[in-house]
Structure 1
Amino acid sequence: MTTADEYKAEGNKYFAAKEFEKAIDAFTKAIEASPEPNHVLYSNRSASYASLKNFTQAYEDAEQTVKISPSWAKGYNRLATAQYGLGNYEDAENSYKKCLELDPNNAMAKEGLQTVENAIIRRNQKEDLGLGAMLNDPNLYTKLRNNPKTREFMNDPEFVAKIERIKSNPQSAGNTQQLLSDPRILTVFATMMGLDMDLTGDMFSKDEEPKEESSKEEQPKEAPAKEEPKEEPKEETKDEEGDVEMEEAEDNKAEADKAKAEGNTLYKQRKFDEAIASYDKAWELHKDITYLNNRAAAEYEKGDYDAAIATCNKAVDEGRDLRADYKLIAKSFARLGNTYLKKDDLQEAVKYFDKSLTEHRTPDVLNKLRATQREIKVREANAYVDPEKAEEARLEGKEYFTKQDWPNAVKAYTEMIKRAPEDARGYSNRAAALIKLLSFPDAVQDCNQAIEKDPKFVRAYIRKASAQLLMKEYSKVMETLTEARKIDLEQGGKSIHEIDDMLNKATFQRFQNIEGETPEQTMERVSKDPEIVQILQDPVMQGILGQARDNPAALQEHMKNPEVAKKVNTLIAAGVIRTR
């Protein structure tokens, strides 16, 4: 029978050969064969899962590791690795600190903690490029003196004074200029970010970004090229307990960037297959998800949307494992959103635009998210339209209205509007029910909607005037009814008597005595009404009123003019003209 130790040895062999799935299988068998829970076996399987970027399973095994052996420092390294891969930076930071409490000299925990702290700083950095948080580290000078690349800088008092000036105001434009002009300060900045770079020599440069003017989708763009830590290749090792260590691969970034530049040129020439091949070559040479994002853009322009989706998902997964800049991961999510938008899968597009904004908020992606959400609502509303069901809702609303069940009438007419949003009757009918519920402003709004749908719908004008009258907005009532009268006359005058009755009612209500007011006080108030003053000062009206005093029959002739009739009726209602 194969023992747990034999399975573990087999798993270690597979891990060393980077056959992680076989390693997982072997460690699983070792766990099952072990007479009692073994923290090393769970740790090894966690490392295997992490190598496959399955951080959820890696996290579960790491939790088992520290549960079985809470005092084993390396278990917290495994836990931190999984937490970082899942994007839980603060939890990862706490796990690395726990490891260092148990083993203060643990090199992996020290490096991991620095990486996590830098990631948190980059995530939270603002306009000062993160200088404020980094340079205010209480251990700043100690770290710089202990680092061989910055040790000599600290012997220069003038250089230390520069650091102090930048610390005092990291957002100053002058300090930013100083940062760019002194390579030593750039080297300090890189050191605090955990990058092993010597910038006192050649400065790094930005690569030209591929752009295609005819493209509707965002072209692949890259952040300024970023030097990667140049570490010697590490041989895979095992500690005394048989726990495996992960191996770092040597990068060839210069060759990768050259392949990427070739891809960019091909992309602009719309030679997408060749561009994809170049981006693949760059990715094989150096693991930077910028190359995957560029490849996805080429696949998008080629029209191979499924391939673009697969590439973007790979970029996200790899980016989590590589601790990529959150802006690059945001770009992957945004491109996923654009691709699903192209496939007309709006729900998925919204999902990935939202994820992009969670990583990094940009106006362009935010606008796309909002536009897509609006389009979803429009489509849902259009899909709900059904004239037959709208008519059923109208009849149901009419029945409720007849029974004086105003709330249910409003509900039924609302359903009618949803089923037939272009039918003006739904809005007008709901306005009638809202008036009964004393919801006058909402009724006016519904009437306006009805009039917008059908400008010749006289009933909507009348109901609007009714609501305005109940709100005592007399001037607005007159305007609404005047328009209604004009339209009704064009259509045969079927509602002219109802409109004129409302006009008279509104006019008399406007100028009726206020409780406790004497006739003289009423007349004085009316005489100061702006509309009355304007009518009396109108030269045309002065002439008409002069003729009426001499020949009352002449007034009847002038009343055939709607504008004159409106003004005369206003004066009669105000008591300025007496008919008896």
Structure 2
Amino acid sequence: MADALKSEGNKAFSAKDYPTAIEKFTQALEIEPENHILYSNRSAVYNAQSEYQKALDDAEKAIGIKGDWSKGHLRKGAAYRGLGDLLAAYDSYEEALKLEPGNAQAKSGLDATQRAIQAEATADGVQGDPLGGLGGMFNDPQMIEKLANNPKTSALLADSEFMAKLERLKSNPNAIGEEMRDPRFLQVMSEPTPEPEDEEAVAKRKAQEAGDAEKKIGNDFYKKKEHDKAIEHYEKAWELNKDITYLNNIGAAKFEKGDYEGTIETCKKAVEEGRDLRADFKTVAKSFTRIGSAYEKLGDLTQAIESYNKSLMEHRTPEALTKMRAAEKARDTLEKDSYMDPAKAEEARELGQKKFQEADWPGAVDAFTEMTKRAPADPRGYSNRAAALAIKRDPKFFRAYMRKGQALVAMKEYNRALDAFTEAAEKDDGSHAREIEQQQQKCLDAQFSARADETEQQTSERIQNDPEIMSILQDPVMQSILQQAKSDPAALQEHMKNPQVRISVQKLMAAGVIRMGR
């Protein structure tokens, strides 16, 4: 994925679509944050957009990952040139050439930078002064102080050879021409004198230094798992310097302590303060991620998922995305498990049976579907639903009636099952007659087994309470057939050639009304 994004970024850069190029390289870096080439490529885009400080930052990151890569130093040189720091640019190009002597781009950059330095050194010349005002530069009484205040030149004060030359130039400014070959003097002339910090900037810098010092102490205690002491120093850091990183650290320590409510409270404060302080969106994203983790520990997956989503909207990271997906999966599993209820499943099964008996196939399907959700381990819900679905889809399909019959057997509705098998026979073209008979016999056997231990009185009571059996016995045609069978049993066999009569007789036999051999 990173390679594909890099390729897209390169294409966008070639087309001078710089925003898209930066977006693609940034996405690739989220996947491969240690890829020096991606930082180098993004640095080149920032240079093209004249965003030289960002270009320099990325070049430094590339060099930090792979210091012996000439292109990283080349990017650094280009960024420094854009920032106007010609000497630093010169050094970067020179380093690139040391690593790769044949690099034409580095040589061209070095030559151009050298010319720019020379032009800058003579641009401020004073008319009538053959040294262009350079001589007076070294007689400046504040010269030493200026060199000391500039981090890029302060080290020169410890160079005895340089200081001896500086003293000679003070007494003989015309000797500057001889010293121009010394790069140290070139550096002094090209470095602008730093502006003194105002009081507000000084106060801000000191506050940050004090806060970071307390944070460091807190980190040491955190590593030792002395979380209360760590929190104490992080809180001091926050008092000294309003940086929400310290609040996030407090949240992390509270999380490790198991104080999840405290974690949420602190990190929410970090988000609120971060908005006011215009904090980096990446830092705010960390606050939201930790809030999500705390909610997850408390079992509130809905709030956890919402917090992870907010984190991703601030800054998309693989960590937050993984946490959110895991929380979503856990929530779905929990909802599914909590929905299971044996009592509700039985209610749904009974409703499904009722709808099935009423031939309300959509209603039966819905009820049996509800049963499968309430009791996913009970196979009856699936088999009954299959039967209802089959008949709903094709009322003429013989196999659907076979499934209906099998479902009714499972429900111990034997007489209705026999009717379903009879309907199957009517829909069949004759090729499945044996299978249908076998299912009918299984149904009859099940009925026989169900009343095997009944007394005659129990059988009689059951018959009296079975409306379907009583309906058959009250049918005039069946009464005539049964009366005839008493004197001529063979006549019953003849009548049973009629499918409707046969199924009625079978029901009476299964119910115990007709007892063969007695």
Query: Where on the TM-score scale, by shorter chain, does this alignment land: which range?
Result: 0.3 to 0.5
Larger RCO (alpha carbons 8 Å, 6+ apart): 1
Q: Which has the higher helix share?
A: 2
Q: Scaled by the length of structure 1, what TM-score is found?
A: 0.38
